[in-house]
């Protein structure tokens, strides 16, 4: 099912939680609703499920306007951050509960519940109570319960945030698998960019109730529309260098270095931020270069080696090549690639 929202707005008193949000969620896709804490992700999700009434705007499921449809008639399955399992019911009863409400005969609903349990791999735990399950298992049960009435739309509100790092990796693959096996349109709320980048077909990035950008994860990474998007995605985070445009060159704030830019939109004298992805910098000991820098500190992350460098009085982080060894305090030369280097307006944060 395709979900379309138009000019969706939610106010709590004077506080605006979601502002003029328009968006298409394509049929059968897994979409991440990404953003920092408090940006309105849960609010958006709750409006889609019908728990929260909208202040203004419209919600369409396919061609039906469901803006004022009560939650139980929308055909959505939801899985909350704390899983919201019923503590007094067994796993099997929990999963079967939505069908119990629909008055499906007992045999039939238990059979269906077993089937769902198998799908999410908890079929050996059917008689346990929720508190006898691990976080990951509880989460699977919650997903099974959300899926049992074959919802048209599956909503997951930070389903992984209570899990430890390892289980998180595992469960996000599971969510991807379950979503692909069932083909259900899914919206996945998270504030972890890596989670969103790794499993989703599309990322919708929000900030302070406003949509920032929505696109395929790679596109968002390669072509951010503003400084917030560029800063939010990627690990290590993108480097920010502050400076001004002078004579078609980007000049560092302290004037210590400059680089030629061929961006026709850059206006003379404009204060800008240059965003540079760590992997877009090549480091060398000699030859032609865009910047000179001094190695300040080195560290390793997995098999990669990174370093903080000083350019003038600003700091950037780059990958070190394994061809040479670099010492702290050593002077090195940096070259920038075309890809992964962006200019933003310092005031508005907009891409230039």
Partner 1 sequence: MKGDNIKKFFIYFFLALGAIVMVFPFYWMISGALKTAAEYNSYPPVWVPSNWLNFDNFVRAFQKAPFQTYFLNSLLVTLCSVTLTGIVTILGAFAFSRLRFPGRELIFSFLLAFMMVPFEMMVITNYQTVTKMGIINTIPVLIVPFTTSIFYTYILKNFFDTIPDSLYYSARIDGASNWKYLWRIMVPIAKPSLVTIMLLNAISSWNSFLWTSMVINSDKYRTIPLGLFAFMTEGGSDPKLQLAASTVSVLPMIILFLFARKYIVNGVARGGLKG
CB 128 within 8 A of CB 141: no
Residue 351 is classified by DSSP as B
149 near partner 1 (CB under 8 A) = yes
Q: How far apart are CA 246 and CA 268, in angstroms?
A: 6
Whether omega for the bond prior to residue 27 falls within 30 degrees of 0, making it cis, is no
Site for partner 1 in 71-100 (CB under 8 A): 71-72, 74, 76-78, 80-82, 84, 86-88, 97-98
**How many residues would you count in the chain?**
352
- H or E element in which residue 220 lies: helix 217-222
12-20, 117-125, 173-181, 334-342 -> range binding ligand ATP (CB under 6 A): 12-20
- The count of C-alpha atoms lying within 13 angstroms of the C-alpha of 286, restricted to the half-sphere facing its C-beta, is 0
Interacting partner of 80 out of Mg ion, partner 1, ligand ATP, none (Cβ under 5 to 8 A depending on kind):
partner 1
Q: How far is the CB of 78 from partner 1 (least distance, A)?
A: 5
Which residue from 19, 42, 94, 137 is in contact with ligand ATP, where contact means CB under 6 A? 42
185 near Mg ion (CB under 5 A) = no
20-28, 34-42, 242-250, 311-319 -> range binding Mg ion (CB under 5 A): 34-42
CB 251 within 8 A of CB 272: no
3-state class (DSSP) for residue 208: coil
Alpha-carbon distance values, 289 to 259, 260, 295, 332, 335 (Å): 9, 11, 16, 9, 5
41 near ligand ATP (CB under 6 A) = yes
Which residue from 14, 15, 103, 323 is in contact with ligand ATP, where contact means CB under 6 A? 15
Place of tokens 């899914």: 186
Q: How far is the CB of 48 from Mg ion (least distance, A)?
A: 13
Q: How far is the CB of 85 from ligand ATP (least distance, A)?
A: 19
Choice between 101 and 124, CB closer to partner 1: 101
Q: How far apart are CA 63 and CA 3, in angstroms?
A: 9
17-25, 39-47, 54-62, 339-347 -> range binding Mg ion (CB under 5 A): 39-47
- The count of C-alpha atoms lying within 13 angstroms of the C-alpha of 111, restricted to the half-sphere facing its C-beta, is 5
Q: How far apart are CA 92 and CA 14, in angstroms?
A: 44
68 near partner 1 (CB under 8 A) = no
Choice between 38 and 53, CB closer to Mg ion: 38
* Residue number, nearest CB to Mg ion: 42
Which residue from 42, 186, 190, 244 is in contact with Mg ion, where contact means CB under 5 A? 42
Q: How far apart are CA 65 and CA 176, in angstroms?
A: 28
Which residue from 19, 43, 193, 212 is in contact with ligand ATP, where contact means CB under 6 A? 43
Alpha-carbon distance values, 306 to 282, 301, 337 (Å): 12, 7, 17
Q: Which residues bind ligand ATP (CB under 6 A)?
A: 12, 15, 17, 35, 37-43, 191
Q: Which residues bind partner 1 (CB under 8 A)?
A: 46, 49-51, 71-72, 74, 76-78, 80-82, 84, 86-88, 97-98, 101-102, 145, 149
């Amino acid at each position: 099912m395709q979900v379309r929202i138009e000019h969706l707005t939610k106010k709590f008193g004077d506080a605006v939680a979601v502002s003029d949000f328009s968006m298409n969620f394509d049929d059968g896709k897994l979409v991440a609703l990404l953003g920092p804490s408090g940006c309105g992700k849960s609010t958006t999700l709750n409006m889609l499920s019908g728990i929260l009434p909208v202040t203004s705007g419209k919600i369409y499921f396919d061609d039906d306007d469901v803006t004022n449809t009560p939650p139980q008639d929308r055909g959505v399955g939801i899985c909350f951050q704390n899983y919201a399992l019923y503590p007094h019911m067994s796993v099997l009863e929990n999963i079967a509960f939505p069908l119990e409400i629909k008055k499906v005969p007992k045999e039939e609903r238990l059979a269906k519940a077993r089937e769902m349990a198998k799908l999410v791999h908890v079929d050996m735990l059917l008689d346990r109570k929720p508190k006898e399950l691990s976080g990951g298992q509880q989460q699977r049960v919650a997903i099974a319960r959300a899926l049992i009435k074959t919802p048209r739309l599956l909503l997951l509100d930070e389903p992984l945030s209570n899990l430890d790092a390892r289980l998180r990796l595992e469960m996000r693959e599971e969510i991807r698998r379950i979503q692909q096996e069932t083909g259900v349109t899914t919206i996945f709320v998270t504030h972890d960019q890596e989670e969103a980048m790794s499993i989703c077909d599309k990322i919708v990035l929000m900030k302070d109730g406003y949509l920032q950008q929505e696109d395929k994860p790679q596109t968002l990474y390669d072509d951010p529309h503003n400084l917030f998007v560029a800063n939010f995605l990627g690990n290590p985070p993108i480097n920010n260098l502050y400076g001004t445009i002078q004579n078609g060159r980007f000049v560092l704030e302290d004037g210590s270095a400059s680089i030629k830019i061929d961006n026709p939109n850059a206006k003379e004298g404009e204060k800008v931020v240059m965003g540079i992805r760590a992997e877009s910098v090549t480091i060398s000991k000699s030859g032609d270069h865009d910047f000179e820098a001094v190695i300040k500190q080195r560290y390793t992350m997995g098999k990669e080696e990174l370093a903080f460098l000083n350019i003038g009085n600003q700091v950037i982080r780059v990958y070190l090549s394994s061809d040479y060894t670099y010492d702290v305090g050593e002077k090195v030369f940096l070259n920038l690639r075309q890809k992964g280097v962006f200019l933003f307006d310092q005031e508005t944060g907009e891409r230039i």
